Amino acid sequence: MDHATPLAPNGTLVVFFHLGKTGGTTVKKNLDHNLPNVRYMFHVSKKTSLTNAEKVYRELRGEATNQTPRLLGAPRKTVFFEIHAGTAPSLLVMKETLNSWRKLSKEVGVRFFAFSILREPLSQAISHFNDHCLERKNPQNCQLWKNKTLVESFLLGKERVNNFQTEFFARPNYTPNPRPYRHMYDDTKDTTAANAPASRSSTRGSLEDAQEVFAAMVDSLDWVGTTECLAEDTFPILQNMVPSHPKEVVKHNVGLHGSSKGGGGEPSSLTKDMLSKSQIDYLHKLMRPDYELYHNATHHFGSKCPSVFQMEYKY
């Protein structure tokens, strides 16, 4: 789809599916409360997403009144509709709405752009583990195994939730997306992750789900970027799409900040170099749907980062 459509006479509508630990916070920091003429709508619940979706529909149909003031209406006016997680609709639930918004936008002179960002699956999973299990240290977010190393806890956890990216886009209609590491570590079952069968999976984590999500992306999204190429790919597109987007963007690293070593010499975060080759091969097999989705989307939408195309995908 065309990323360089001329400025529309009646504003811009951007829809962003924000998958955690992919750099979406950087996108939000550059738009939310920072730019003139941008209305940022953040959604993690069914109620707010439905309410704001209806506002968008009314706006595109020209039904705004004094009681429901205009959201758009000027070339530099932008509505940024972010879908984060929780009970907000997934891409598979939202795809027909996106296509209807696209059609209505074209009819009324509103510029429409829908996008998301993916991340190399193992890096995304490690970042999620570090954030929820180690940095926040909230038992509601994560319960680590007792007397297990970080690597052992991570491997055991990935047997239970192993294709978080596919699940994010495919989860059923308004089904709460459970905290990915909550109650995942059941120390009553002391299995060896490296020898365990790769049969446990996310609610929507199959290859068929990954293929369905990819088809929906091609059908209803204008762009799917990557965390690895955020600055090279996605920000230049957003700077072109959002009239008041800054040329100099706020820098915000993805994942944990600081050292990987704690004060006592023990690792305070998990890194890829802690994993053996056999463990990485095992994880690649476990996360095959996420790798399939990442590989297909990256190659379909394109990337300016050669490293993405040179990655070795092991299924």
> Do 172 and 23 share a structural domain?
no
Which H or E run includes 118? Answer: strand 111-118
d(Cα 97, Cα 94) in Å, to the nearest integer? 5
> Do 225 and 163 share a structural domain?
no
> Do 110 and 125 share a structural domain?
no
d(Cα 100, Cα 84) in Å, to the nearest integer? 21
Q: What is the pLDDT of residue 158?
A: 80
* CA dihedral (224, 71, 241, 101) positive or negative: positive
> Do 225 and 175 share a structural domain?
no
Which residues of the chain are under the pLDDT cut of 70? 1-8, 32-34, 64-69, 137-143, 173-205, 250-267, 304, 306-315
> Do 144 and 200 share a structural domain?
yes
Q: What is the pLDDT of residue 315?
A: 41
> Do 226 and 181 share a structural domain?
no
Range of the domain at 105: 12-119+210-241
Q: What is the pLDDT of residue 264?
A: 45
Record the pTM: 0.84
Q: How many Cβ atoms sit within 10 Å of the Cβ of residue 160?
A: 15
> Do 179 and 62 share a structural domain?
no
Does residue 147 form part of some domain? yes
Q: What is the pLDDT of residue 123?
A: 92
Does residue 131 form part of some domain? yes
Please work out, in degrees rounded to the nearest 5, the angle formed at the alpha carbon of residue 128 by the alpha carbons of 126 and 132: 125
- Number of folded domains in the chain? 2
Does residue 250 form part of some domain? no
CATH number of domain containing 78: 3.40.50
Does residue 246 form part of some domain? no
